[in-house]
Structure 1
Amino acid sequence: MSHVVVSGANGFVGRALCRALLGAGHRVTGLVRRSGGCVDGVTEWVDASTDYHGIARNWPANMKADCVVHLAARVHVIHDTAADPETAFRATNVDGTLRLAATARRHGVPRFVFVSSIKAVAEQSRGQSLCENDSPRPEDAYGRSKRAAEDALIRMGDDTGLEVVIVRPPLVYGPHVRANFLRLMDAVWRGVPLPLGGADARRSMVYVGNLADALVHCATDARAARQCFHVADSDAPTVAELVRSLGRHLGKPVRLLPVPAAWLRMAARLTGQSSRVDRLLGSLQVDTSHIRDVLGWHPPFSTDEGLAATADWYRSTH
């Protein structure tokens, strides 16, 4: 049995990971900024300091852990209100991450699993699935901050012996999902006509239960040390296929309009939404062969099972 510290333990992915760790027999401490929201069985540790400035003095006395899984982050938002997004993302996702990792290492924690993002590599796969060693081309402040944190952690690992494991998921969905995926479900539920019938580019995603399972392996399997893994579902549906699947599981008729992608991109340019529409219509396929080869990991849930669970949750709230 391992003792795993999970930052962001009361969040969307954090709660799923904690359940998976507890189910596998591990002991879990949840590092959170505010009390409450952790699943039963998790020992809560509150550190309210901004960007972990107080983490060194707040480390619980005599706490020994085998691994820290770092989920907490300043997340990507469509309309960022920060005066300087680059600085804001770096303060949390780079500087805060390094404070936590350095403190963990000083307290004898041997492994640090950093949950990064596929955005640290690219926004689109452009005809070939994204691999772990592809040249990085992050396109926004969030992606650049995640990539900078990865690079800094690798250097820290080389200098201190900390076993850094980097995990790059694409879009994560599942019960309690928020942001764009929830808005898409809202539109399907209300029967809103969607001009996505011609959206035939494939998009890798990862069900939260699959990501949690992969993170358990990364936290506890000796073979994961000093590795970088892309984690995704086995399937990469088109946007149109995704919408149809959601409609089927929600029990709602889907109204997909066959608008050519070129027309959508033209409209996006006129309305200043080009980057958003490009992400929606562009291909983003992720190669997960490395984690299969190194850890023997395969997603325990199919995409259809993940979408069904997500739709069941959604229906229960409406």
Structure 2
Amino acid sequence: MLIVTGASGFIGLHLADALRRNDRPFALSSRRPVGGIGAERFIQADRLVETEIPADCIIHLAGRAHVLREESLDPAAEFRAANTDYPLAIARAFAQRGTRRFIFLSSVGVLGNETAPGHPFTHESRPAPHNAYALSKLEAEEGLRAIAAETGMEVVIIRPPLVYGAGAKGNFASLVGWLKKGIPLPLGAVHNRRSLVGIDNLVDLVLTAIDHPAAANRTFLVSDGEDLSTSDLLRRTAAAMGRPARLLPVPAPLLDGAARLLGKATLAQRLLSSLELDIRFTRETLNWHPPTTVDEGLARAVSSAREAPTRQH
């Protein structure tokens, strides 16, 4: 039996759909009930630690992600509780019950938020978390490795960059919204390089990591294997939508300065800087390659919403 946490989220819904199509028995856990996607059982998130359901593998997707409008008085504590303490509690409980493997979806943010030209992150890059979210993910990674060493339960850590696909929210949803409205964007002269991962490629790697013997106690980077500039991403997403991309060639340094004056430095960093991942270690260790191309992934991402897995209450 597999147990998927964070099952009501974007990645969880796609993973559950893939497990159903592959005839893998699984249970789902989340704060909100989900149904209609082939799970054998549903476990409320706050009851998962004490559940007696045996599990061969836990796939932990649950967590507190980036918050656009932070209302907490102590965001770092909130991130640590959701992204560090909770997965470690689950891992300890299921390790004691003999669970074979724990797959943890971390973030490339544990390595930093940008790379220098021609110097991508690799599986050997030293951690340099840049915010409370990334730090909480790194602390969870360290705690899981300690539990693995103590109990013998295998731990697999996957560090994705921005994940896009049908039903995605956050930065990718904003990008699609801009293109749908036909808003002229001053990003036509941005020549950065960013790694992304389509949801189908990420799910395929997770499925591979469930049973692959070489995945045990290793950390993997994942991407589509093709890096894009922000302007390329906008043009190719627009092409997938059958729309023109109205991009104005404003120099990137001018955009960066204007964004900082307007208090939008974080947004500018995501749009203008580079963040490249070298996934050769993942390819070679697991004999894995991204099965879906960027253009195929973008076409699926902007297709009718009815094609995306949906939660049912």
TM-score bin, normalised by smaller chain: over 0.9
1:152 counterpart (143, 147, 155): 143
Q: Aligned partner of 1:121: which letter?
A: L
Deviation at 1:227, TM superposition (A): 0.7
Aligned to 1:102: 92
Trace 1:1-318 onto structure 2 (pairs within 5 A). Answer: 3-36=1-34, 38-49=35-46, 54-57=47-50, 59=51, 61=52, 63-127=53-117, 128-313=119-304
Q: Distance in 2 between matches of 1:56 and 1:261?
A: 48
Q: Distance in 1 between matches of 2:180 and 2:228?
A: 20
> Deviations for 1:130-151, whole angstroms, at most 9, x for unmatched residues?
1122111111110111111101
> Deviations for 1:166-222, whole angstroms, at most 9, x for unmatched residues?
000000000001111111101101100111011110111100011000001111212
> Deviations for 1:10-36, whole angstroms, at most 9, x for unmatched residues?
221111112222333321111121212
Seen in structure 2, the aligned counterparts of structure 1 residues 106 and 293 have a Cα distance that, compared at 3 Å, is same
Deviation at 1:80, TM superposition (A): 2.0
Q: Distance in 1 between matches of 2:307 and 2:27?
A: 30
Q: Is the 8 A contact 1:93 1:146 kept in 2?
A: yes
Identity of aligned residues (%): 37
Q: Distance in 2 between matches of 1:121 and 1:314?
A: 33
Deviation at 1:316, TM superposition (A): 8.1
Q: Distance in 2 between matches of 1:28 and 1:315?
A: 24
Deviation at 1:68, TM superposition (A): 0.2
Q: Distance in 2 between matches of 1:126 and 1:120?
A: 16
* Segment of structure 1 superposing worse, 271-280 or 259-268: 271-280
Query: In angstroms, what is the RMSD of aligned CA positions?
Result: 1.6
Q: Is the 8 A contact 2:16 2:37 kept in 1?
A: no
Q: Aligned partner of 1:5: which letter?
A: I
Q: Aligned partner of 2:80: which letter?
A: R
- Structure 1 residues not aligned, in runs of 5+: none
TM-score where L is the length of structure 1: 0.93
Q: Distance in 2 between matches of 1:314 and 1:195?
A: 28
SS in 2 for 1:312: coil
Q: Aligned partner of 2:16: which letter?
A: C
Q: Is the 8 A contact 2:29 2:45 kept in 1?
A: no
Q: Aligned partner of 1:40: which letter?
A: I
Q: Distance in 1 between matches of 2:32 and 2:240?
A: 35
Q: Distance in 1 between matches of 2:270 and 2:172?
A: 13
TM-score where L is the length of structure 2: 0.94
Q: Is the 8 A contact 1:19 1:39 kept in 2?
A: no
Aligned to 2:311: none
- Structure 2 residues not aligned, in runs of 5+: 309-313
